[in-house]
Structure 1
Amino acid sequence: MKISLCRPICFWLVGLLAVTLIAACNTVNKTSATNHKLQDANCRVVQHTMGETCIPHHPQRMVVLHEEALANSVKLGFRPIASVYEPNTPLPKYLQGKVTKVESVGGYGSPNLEKILYLKPDLILADSYYSENFYEQLSQIAPTVVLNIPFPPPTWKEQLEALAQILGKENVAQQLIDDYWQRIKQLKQALGIGAASPKENRRHPMQVSVASAGSEYGIWAYGERHFSGTILSDIGLQRPRAQQGDLFYVEGISEETISSIDGDVLFFLTWDQEDDKKALEKLKQEPLWQQLNVVQRNQVYFVGKHWHDANIFAINAILDDLEKYLVNSP
């Protein structure tokens, strides 16, 4: 008799447990679906080097661990709160006054994670270097997107477009690129490139050399693949033979082979570090430097770090120099 009573009670308990589990699962599913909808409403998923990340639609507290992306994000309409640079080595001169109120969170490659956490960012942008070293830690602080910038890096246009796609500012980037092409067109007209004119006979073909020197790396030149090289190519200006082809840098130039940086015009990049300034002054005293045709004709123009960089501020600063020295100079 006890056995016959136990069976219906057991069946009833099993049924009750099943109903409870089904109800619980439905509740979890509904909660999960609700949370997913809330997540989609508050952020959008973007693809990047490390997978996918849901980032805010309108980030207000961006920390950008890459100087080029920092400058480009400002031009795209954002105001990052922090970036990587040494406090004693401020942002380049061409960015000062344009990129403002940006705190330092350490040097490139060694960010201060504690300070980043303290700043409470809502989005962190980093480059490929951080994918191996800091991504997991950074992504625990805030949504983190790793930009694909290997070496040699993508063109300046590709870097701007990739960042704009992540931040949902494709139209702004396209306008910036359109403005660039308009300036290229104006420079070509001013230089008489692509149309027969008296100025073309005077100016074209012109060989434009781009080089630099420093205490650590010696003398080097910039190839056609470099950001500055693509600008000169877009205008239609020619390069010395040693700087032609699919080259980003031309390294290993000695004083004995310094003639490879000769040209009709030489844009020579200078650096703010004292050791680099001393190295340049020493180079300028060398007889082989003084024998360069471009030096003897006084066609060497010393320019800043923007000739080295890839952000849209730097690109426009290079165009300013080209207009100043190739168009407006006597």
Structure 2
Amino acid sequence: MKKSLFILMAISLIGLTACGQTASNSSANTASNITNSTQDPSSSKAVTLTDFANRKVTFNTVPQKIVALSNGEMDIIYALGGTLVGRPTATGPVSIQEAKNVEQVGSTHGLDLEKVAYLSPDVVLGNNPLNTKDIPALEGIGSKMVLTNANSIEEVMKQIQLFGQMLQKDDKAAQLNQAIDQKLKDLKSNSATVKPRVLLVYGAPGTYMAALNNSLSGNIVVSAGGENIAADYPKLDSYPQYAQLDTEKIMKSNPQLILIMSHGNPEKVRDGFLKEMQQNAAWSSMDAVKNNQIEILPADLFGTNPGTKVIEALDMMNKLLQAVK
């Protein structure tokens, strides 16, 4: 009897031990599941994309430390919910408050490699083809480069889609592009039959060029309902989105609206351009001059890629066109 009682007690102890181990394992598995569920699922996913230079760029995880060399790319990254560790150097106020205190690192025309190296970014967003030459130096400091450009609204939308893929924010990118697409449809449906004749001048003091339709600003003019009088001008070899100003051709086209844009110093550019116009009596006979319809375009919307703010650029352009006499 005593022997049977001893055996029963032993079996009970073994059962309790097994139950304790099972409960312990269950608790460990639960804790593990909770830990995994709180991790950012995108942080462990590899990202491979093809940039505008047809280069395949692969990231082991979603890039977190990003440098943008122009305003459009900066705008798109923040619009997608991302942030920057380095932004383009600006002389004026920054339109994106979150980027106000971000380190300035130069531009697509000349980046500060020492500053970029200090920031040690996962990726630098540059221009194709301007920054192709910078790829070896950036790879030498352990960073990658994604090249894009924005010579049309369609290319801005492709940038948004590409950066959305890079940040794994595809749904947000689609939402941003849908808003741009809807704006284009609205403008097209409300477009006047007779389109105002526009001369779009890009300038720096002493240098002036006519923007062609293959430039972003020219594309905005056409999309907003205007006629770019320089559409058929021969492009410049060094600046294929622009052409030389041809006074004789401009006189024949007789623009109703002259728009001036610049990266910086817009007032100086305007004053210089008006001075050149005054030196040639032919300009005074044009409708835009007679009706005083010469406007300076804001640099953040037209002197550079505005990114998602291309909607604002389209709205402004449409209002200027509607005001043409």
Q: Same fold (TM over 0.5)?
A: yes
CA distance in 2, matches of 1:284, 1:272: 21
Q: Which deviations, in whole Å up to 9, do the C-alpha atoms of 1:226-281 show, x marking residues without a partner? A: 223333444454333x3259976341214455426632333332553375354224
CA distance in 2, matches of 1:187, 1:152: 16
Structure 2 letter corresponding to 1:298: N
Deviation for aligned residue 1:159: 2.7
CA distance in 1, matches of 2:268, 2:296: 17
Contact 2:201–2:258 (8 Å) recurs in 1: no
Per the alignment, residue 54 of structure 1 pairs with 59
Per the alignment, residue 321 of structure 1 pairs with 316
Match of 1:243 among 231, 240, 251: 231
Deviation for aligned residue 1:82: 0.9
CA distance in 2, matches of 1:130, 1:232: 25
CA distance in 2, matches of 1:130, 1:153: 20
Structure 1 unmatched runs, 5+? 1-39, 194-202
Deviation for aligned residue 1:205: 0.5
Per the alignment, residue 44 of structure 2 pairs with 42
- 1:307 equivalent to 2:294? Answer no
CA distance in 2, matches of 1:109, 1:79: 22
Give the match's secondary structure for 2:145: strand
Contact 2:87–2:105 (8 Å) recurs in 1: yes
- CA 1:290/1:314 → structure 2, altered by over 3 Å: closer, same or farther? farther
TM-score between the two structures when normalised by the length of structure 2? 0.68
Give the match's secondary structure for 2:227: coil
Per the alignment, residue 26 of structure 1 pairs with none
Map 1:1-330 → 2, pairs under 5 A: 42-48=44-50, 49=53, 50-57=55-62, 59-85=63-89, 89-90=91-92, 95=95, 97=97, 99-129=99-129, 132-149=132-149, 155-188=155-188, 192-193=190-191, 203-215=192-204, 218-240=207-229, 242-244=230-232, 249-259=241-251, 262-270=254-262, 272-273=264-265, 276-286=269-279, 287-305=281-299, 306-327=301-322
Structure 2 letter corresponding to 1:282: K
Q: Which deviations, in whole Å up to 9, do the C-alpha atoms of 1:26-63 show, x marking residues without a partner? A: xxxxxxxxxxxxxx973513234544322532x43211
CA distance in 1, matches of 2:234, 2:157: 17
Structure 2 unmatched runs, 5+? 1-41
TM-score between the two structures when normalised by the length of structure 1? 0.67
Percent identity between matched residues is: 20
Per the alignment, residue 15 of structure 1 pairs with none
Structure 2 letter corresponding to 1:222: A
CA distance in 1, matches of 2:233, 2:287: 23
Deviation for aligned residue 1:215: 4.5
Contact 2:209–2:243 (8 Å) recurs in 1: yes
Deviates more, 1:219-228 or 1:143-152: 143-152
CA distance in 2, matches of 1:298, 1:279: 16
Contact 1:258–1:288 (8 Å) recurs in 2: no
CA distance in 2, matches of 1:263, 1:246: 18
Deviates more, 1:46-55 or 1:287-296: 46-55
- CA 1:122/1:246 → structure 2, altered by over 3 Å: closer, same or farther? same
Deviation for aligned residue 1:327: 4.6
Give the match's secondary structure for 1:155: helix
- CA 1:109/1:253 → structure 2, altered by over 3 Å: closer, same or farther? closer
CA distance in 2, matches of 1:98, 1:41: 23
Deviation for aligned residue 1:217: 6.5
- CA 1:135/1:106 → structure 2, altered by over 3 Å: closer, same or farther? same
Give the match's secondary structure for 1:78: coil
Give the match's secondary structure for 2:166: helix
- CA 1:208/1:167 → structure 2, altered by over 3 Å: closer, same or farther? farther
